[in-house]
């Protein structure tokens, strides 16, 4: 479903590369975890997949469902089924959560040539999906993310994902700032959204989220490249020995290469 | 958005002004220039009584002694008042049509293009009575019969001068005297038409009253005069909408609106102003110099709501004189400046009576090279015990070439008064737009959504059907302002 080849990217108008030749292949139905230390490029990867213009791709390619993803604007990618759960969800004062999501869903449906949902059909759908993440209905009426707690914002992201029903979901540090109960609720929500037609990429710093969302594959991202891939045991090992271990392995590999 | 398809249709032709067509109808237009003869000509055209002609002449003579104000934060080349034509009427005017059948079909077509539900049938289905002013003349007032039954007078000001001279004599100039300010005085001399409303004691007007203004003819000034009198304990909601064709030269619009809310009465006055703003380089567009003021007697309430998206220059301060005890004044405003538009707008709340309350919510949006100023005065006089004012003044900037300015004047002479002022300035964030994009919304939809959220408190004050129109307008007028 998703094929990333030799991806190089940087912040627009800055020289330093953040992604330095990253390759990754994710099939429908799979859950991949991307782990890595701070500054390794995890969030950059998430943003580049979603089409944030603050980042510039300098080399490499991303294919999504057989099409060139990099050709498309962020809204077109969303319409094609790419979803990003933001690390820091954005506030939109004065726009109710429900209205926002209805507009988003109908915009996606229009782009796909599907009929728009009526207000009542949408509400029915939203109520049903809100249960997945135990989202309080009062939050649906409030302005998008305004005055939400950290946990509520993250739940709201997964709620939006449930309603928009994407083919590829990238969860950017969805576990950050969550206490253990909120983490469990969010993870349960994500697990219910696992589907053989959907690919999910979980970007995280810590292994603990992966106790709840068990990945098919784990990739370790260091300095803009994936340096190690494996199954979930890799994440557990990493938790024990820390990122210093990968750093060490990387350095010895580089030294050996010289 | 329910309106997106339509919006895109409008956008597909570029950042075009949707109402930019003009209608080819025979018009009777006064030669450019202004002197006593023209004032008499206008008065004569309207078969006005002598007292009205005299009032106009007094205004004209006073105007000659006045200077155009220079204090607003707007910049425009000097206006040659001798090059403006002060009267233009579709031919066949004079008497004025008695029913819609008598109205020139071309005019009706124009109104259909404007989206005014002018035909009687459509209006019967709706809740709106419309008085449409085309250039200088009031064309048709719908729904008169039903209003008559309740004793409500809703007609053109010319008709009111002829048919209800006692009311006009008593109230015209009672809120905005002919000596008030440069533009109001000019208007008093040459006003050509406008609307008149009288709601009798204790009557609650059952429908929105509405006027649509359109400037059609070239080189024409439009000077409407609106007078609304709500007698004791009555209620009326009034809406005006405005458009003009695209012209390279600037057109002058200097209107006066006077509201009189007698004891316990309430007037709600809403404006959706979409005059032609000029092109991106500031060529053409309407100069909108408007004086709007209302007076509240005891327990009365006046509420101004305005959505200003058009005009090259807007100079406008809808105000409330809270004369009676316990009276209430409200001002809700959204002003958008894009391209080279300039707006200097706000309100004056003058507290005279005891326990008077005023609320000001102003939302200024600047995009392109637009300059947006809020200018407001809250004045609490000595006698105005326990008066309260709350002012909230929010500015939103889109891009980095525009400007937002706030000039709040607060003048308190009674120490029991409570005056609050809050102001914020925000920049529409790239992160907000990206967030919306990521959820599948286009950039235009994202801006429209964010801006409408920003203006929510004001839009909520508009009657429902006009709120929808205003939302659309905001989206259209900000098209192309990001990225």
Q: Counting beta carbons within 10 angstroms of the beta carbon of residue B11, is it exposed (0 to 12), middle (13 to 18) or buried (19 or more)?
A: middle
Strand pairing class (A199-204; A168-172): parallel
Across the interface, do B449 and A160 touch by the CB < 8 Å criterion? Answer: no
Calpha distance B363→B350 (Å, rounded): 21
Comparison of pLDDT for A2 and B339, the residue scoring more:
A2
Q: Are B274 and B307 in contact (CB under 8 A)?
A: no
Residue A73 has pLDDT above 90, yes or no: yes
User: For A146-242, where are the alpha helices, taking DSSP H only?
Assistant: 150-164, 180-192, 208-212, 232-241
Looking at the partner chain, which of B1, B431, B441 has a beta carbon nearest the beta carbon of A90? B431
Would you call A117 an interface residue with chain B, using a CB distance cutoff of 8 Å?
no
Residue B473 has pLDDT above 80, yes or no: no
Dump strand ranges (E) for B135-284. 137-141, 153-156, 195-199, 208-214, 225-230, 235-243, 250-253, 256-261, 266-273
DSSP line for B308-321: E---SEEEE--EEE
Confidence (pLDDT) at B125: 30
pLDDT band at B123 (very low <50, low <70, confident <90, very high): very low
Domain membership of residue B282 as a residue range: 2-482
Q: Are B189 and B57 in contact (CB under 8 A)?
A: yes
Mean pLDDT of the A157-178 span = 94
Q: How many structural domains is chain B composed of?
A: 1
Looking at the partner chain, which of B431, B439, B456 has a beta carbon nearest the beta carbon of A104? B439
Hey, of A12, A101, A103, which one would you mutate to test binding to chain B, going by the most B CBs within 10 A of its CB? A103
Mean pLDDT of the B432-452 span = 93
What domains sit in chain A, N to C, each tagged with a CATH number? 2-257 (3.40.50.300)
Give pTM, 2 decimals: 0.80
User: What SS3 class is residue B65?
Assistant: coil
Mean pLDDT of the A141-165 span = 94
pLDDT digits (tens, 9 = 90+) for B288-310: 889 999 999 999 999 999 988 88
Would you call A54 an interface residue with chain B, using a CB distance cutoff of 8 Å?
yes
Calpha distance B472→B483 (Å, rounded): 20
Mean pLDDT of the A138-157 span = 92
Please identify which residue in the block is written with the tokens 């010289």: A258
Question: How many Cα atoms sit within 13 Å of A228 on the Cβ side?
Answer: 20
Mean pLDDT of the B183-205 span = 92
- CB < 8 Å to B455, chain A: 94
Angle ∠(B247,B252,B258) on CA atoms, nearest 5: 135
Average pLDDT for chain B: 81
pLDDT band at B113 (very low <50, low <70, confident <90, very high): low
Q: Give contacts of B 436-465 with A, CB under 8 A.
A: 436-443, 445, 449-450, 452-457
Nearest CA in chain A to B442: A75
Residue B37 has pLDDT above 70, yes or no: yes
Confidence (pLDDT) at B93: 39
Calpha distance B482→B478 (Å, rounded): 8
Residue B365 has pLDDT above 70, yes or no: yes
* ipTM summary value: 0.95
The CA distances from residue B238 to A218, B256, B336, B421, in Å, are: 65, 15, 22, 28
Confidence (pLDDT) at A205: 87
Q: Residue B112 is encoded by which pair of tokens?
A: 């259909």
Calpha distance B210→A100 (Å, rounded): 32
pLDDT band at B224 (very low <50, low <70, confident <90, very high): confident
Residue B466 has pLDDT above 90, yes or no: no
> Looking at residue B224, what DSSP letter applies?
B
Q: Residue B64 is encoded by which pair of tokens?
A: 């000659």
Percent share of chain B, pLDDT over 90 = 43
Mean pLDDT of the B82-93 span = 69
């Amino acid at each position: 479903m998703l094929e990333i080849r030799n991806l190089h990217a940087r912040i627009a108008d800055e020289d330093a590369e953040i992604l330095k030749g990253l390759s990754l292949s994710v099939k429908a139905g799979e859950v991949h975890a991307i782990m890595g230390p701070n500054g390794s490029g995890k969030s950059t990867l998430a943003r580049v997949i979603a089409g944030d213009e603050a980042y510039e791709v300098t080399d490499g390619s991303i294919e999504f469902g057989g099409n060139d993803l990099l050709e498309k604007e962020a809204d077109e990618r969303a319409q094609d089924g790419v979803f990003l759960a933001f690390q820091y969800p954005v506030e939109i004062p004065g726009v109710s959560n429900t209205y926002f999501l209805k507009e988003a869903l109908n915009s996606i449906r229009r782009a796909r040539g599907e009929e728009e949902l009526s207000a009542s059909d949408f509400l029915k759908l939203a109520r049903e999906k809100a249960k997945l993440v135990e989202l309080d209905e009062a939050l649906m009426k409030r302005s998008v993310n305004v005055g939400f707690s950290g946990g509520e914002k993250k739940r709201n992201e997964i709620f939006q994902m449930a309603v928009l029903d994407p083919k590829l979901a990238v969860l950017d540090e969805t576990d950050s700032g969550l206490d253990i109960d909120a983490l469990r609720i969010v993870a349960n929500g994500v697990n219910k959204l696992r589907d053989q037609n959907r690919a999910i990429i979980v970007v995280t710093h810590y292994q603990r989220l992966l106790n709840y969302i068990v990945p098919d594959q784990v990739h370790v991202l260091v300095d803009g490249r994936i340096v190690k891939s494996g199954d979930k045991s890799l994440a557990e090992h990493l938790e024990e020995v820390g990122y210093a271990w990968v750093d060490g392995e990387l350095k010895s590999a580089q030294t050996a290469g010289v | 958005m329910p309106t997106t398809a339509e919006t895109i249709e409008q956008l597909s032709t570029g950042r075009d002004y949707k109402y930019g067509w003009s209608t080819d109808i025979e018009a009777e237009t006064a030669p450019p220039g202004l002197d006593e003869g023209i004032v008499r000509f206008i008065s004569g055209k309207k078969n006005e009584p002598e007292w009205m002609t005299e009032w106009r002449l007094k205004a004209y003579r006073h105007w000659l002694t006045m200077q155009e104000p220079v204090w607003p934060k707007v910049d425009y080349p000097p206006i040659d008042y001798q090059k403006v034509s002060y009267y233009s009427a579709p031919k066949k005017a004079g008497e004025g049509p008695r029913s819609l059948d008598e109205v020139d079909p071309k005019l009706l077509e124009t109104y259909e293009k404007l989206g005014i539900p002018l035909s009687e049938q459509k209006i019967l289905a709706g809740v709106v009575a419309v008085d449409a002013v085309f250039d200088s003349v009031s064309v048709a007032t719908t729904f008169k019969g039903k209003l008559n039954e309740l004793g409500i007078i809703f007609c053109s000001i010319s008709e009111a001068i002829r048919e209800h001279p006692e009311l006009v004599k008593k109230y015209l100039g009672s809120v905005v005297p002919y000596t008030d300010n440069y533009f109001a005085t000019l208007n008093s001399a040459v006003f050509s038409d406008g609307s008149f409303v009288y709601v009798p004691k204790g009557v609650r007007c059952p429908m929105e009253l509405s006027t649509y203004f359109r400037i059609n003819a070239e080189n024409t000034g439009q000077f409407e005069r609106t007078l609304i009198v709500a007698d004791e304990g009555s209620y009326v909601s009034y809406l005006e909408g405005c458009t003009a064709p695209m012209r390279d030269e600037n057109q002058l619009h200097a209107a006066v609106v006077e509201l009189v809310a007698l004891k316990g009465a309430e007037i709600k006055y809403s404006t959706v102003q979409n005059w032609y703003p000029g092109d991106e380089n500031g060529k053409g567009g309407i100069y909108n110099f408007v004086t709007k003021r209302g007076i509240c007697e005891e327990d009365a309430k006046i509420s101004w709501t305005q959505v200003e998206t058009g005009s090259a220059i807007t100079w406008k301060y809808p105000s409330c004189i809270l004369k009676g005890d316990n009276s209430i004044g409200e001002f809700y405003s959204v002003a958008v400046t894009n391209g080279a538009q300039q707006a200097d707008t706000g309100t004056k709340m003058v507290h005279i009576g005891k326990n008077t309350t005023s609320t000001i919510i102003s939302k200024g949006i600047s995009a392109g090279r637009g300059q947006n100023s809020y200018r407001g005065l809250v004045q609490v006089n000595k006698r105005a015990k326990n008066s309260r004012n709350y002012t909230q003044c929010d500015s939103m900037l889109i891009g980095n070439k525009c400007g937002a300015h706030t000039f709040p004047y607060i003048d308190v002479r009674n120490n029991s008064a409570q005056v609050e002022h809050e102001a914020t300035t925000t920049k529409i964030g790239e992160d907000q737009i990206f967030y919306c994009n990521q959820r599948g919304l286009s950039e235009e939809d994202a801006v429209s959504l964010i801006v409408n959220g920003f203006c929510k408190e004001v839009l909520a004050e508009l009657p429902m059907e006009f709120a929808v129109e205003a939302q659309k307008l905001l989206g259209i007028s900000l098209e192309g302002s990001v990225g």
